[in-house]
Chains A and B, each alone.
Chain A
Amino acid sequence: MSDLTRRLLLKAIGGALGLAAVAKALAPLRADGEETTVEGFLRKSYRDLSPEEIQSLIVHLEEMTRRVHGVDVTIRDAPPIPGVEFGFALNLSVCTGCRACVAACHRENNHDRPSAESYIRVLEMTQGSLDLAHSTTTYDHPVPAPGKFYMPVQCMQCRNPPCVRACPVGATWQQADGITVTDYNWCIGCRYCEVACPYHARRFNWTTPEIPAAEINPDQALLANTLRPRGVDEKCHFCLHRVRDGRLPACLEACPTGARVFGDLRDPNSEICRVLAERRTFALREEAGTAPRFFYFFED
């Protein structure tokens, strides 16, 4: 989709539904600075870029990072591994709610420091209940607390993702390994995806993320943890820059209890498949029809 078609499409939808005005009102923060230059690769969605244009985009983003932050980063294009479909599971009997995963995600994915942003929230819940409405994320006492259990929530990488359907410009979509990605250069910041997500998994950059240069994670991939501009939406991408390289996600490695299980849903011998076969797993808000690839279980 070219920039012009995107604008026209928005206009057409707006004509019918009044969405454009809403989108514009909701998107006052999209920085119209350096990102909207005349260079072709910046006026196209990632999905329309040729391999050469992807390389130009990478060079551009690396240069921007050097110029703005004074940091050398290595950005890769990390497409899905053919034949692989990722899944995640979490052992609620082992998780202690320590939030090491929240902190690891914050660092790994170059999140805004002042707002302590992270793709993961940990809900403190009352034992024997799965009532999300009466959970809290701001607990601040020794964990695990008596009578409580802890439920980390992040993007479920739905088979049927409502955020993708809600996006008016196709800036977020599901890739072949099941990971739903976001094109930070294409997102218009309307936040429809955020409203559509029943897991509150999406995050909006209200400000230009601030990170001390020394803390920027230089191990980056497109559609993953490159430095985001202000005014775009984002969410957990299962650390695609790591997992498409065969590595484990940062939140899992950081977990001091080993409650997290990650792997290939199409490999019947993988740990994730064994957990799905040998434990009574469930997905969050299954009734929403989202068909998550993220599962929870208790030990009985």
Chain B
Amino acid sequence: METFLTILLDGLQFSSYLFIVSAGLTIIFGVMKILNVCHGSFYAWGAYTSAFFIGKFSEMGLPDGLGFVVIVASAIIVGLVLGFLIEQLILKHMYHRDEVLIVLATFGLFLVLEDVILIAFGTDPYFAYQPMALLDSVEMGGIVRDVYGLTLIGVAALVAAGCWFLLNKTKWGTILKAVIFDREMGISMGINVPFVYTLTFIGGAILGGLGGAYIAPTISVAPGLGTEVIVLSFAVVVVGGMGSIMGAAIGSVIIGLLRALAVHELPQVELFVVFAVMAVVLVFRPEGLFAPAKPRKI
């Protein structure tokens, strides 16, 4: 029972952080049709920025509670700066090129940003445990959990609700959905598509950064963490269906729970299981579980 609860909570926590990151990835894909490999960099930069400043502020003797402000601020700054620069300097000039080529360009960017992180922050790991220590832990059903980790589930739920509200209850959502369904149609409706693209990319980047910034206090922030997350969130959006928020949510839960199960019960297949699920879903549902509809061709 206790193991079961541990697996469940581990899995959900893991799913939550995957969802936050993947939601950004899937929104960018849905609107811009770009599979953004450097999404992993947003995550890594979010993590490093927040870990760095949480550590700095704590050294300066500022209250630990400030850490939460730092987390949100890091996500927004990373998303705004990196997202804006990358979209304006690189991607904007590529929209007319092959989908695959854009993926390769974002892969190139990802590699560059990985090394820039090393130059900026060095190779030593960062520990920014303060916000987590502040929230303490609770006992539930015989096991002890960090409250901080549990709040992650709440943050993911907030993100999901926010996306749902934005897409379904605002004028912005209508515009986005039009562009998602058919870009040409969006243009003919008078939508300023380039502007929508820029905002979408920044929005997605902020979500990527938030995933990293929020998870930073619970891990050792060290080189290579962007790689793991990009691989996992690819699996999530493929399983869920690229471009679907609902899909990202379901995909996150599936991948998160399966991985937690593997880690606890069958460590040999930990790495294997994510890819196996991805392969199986691709084979039987090539478009993923919840792929949005497409316009007809000829």
Whether A associates with B in a native complex is no
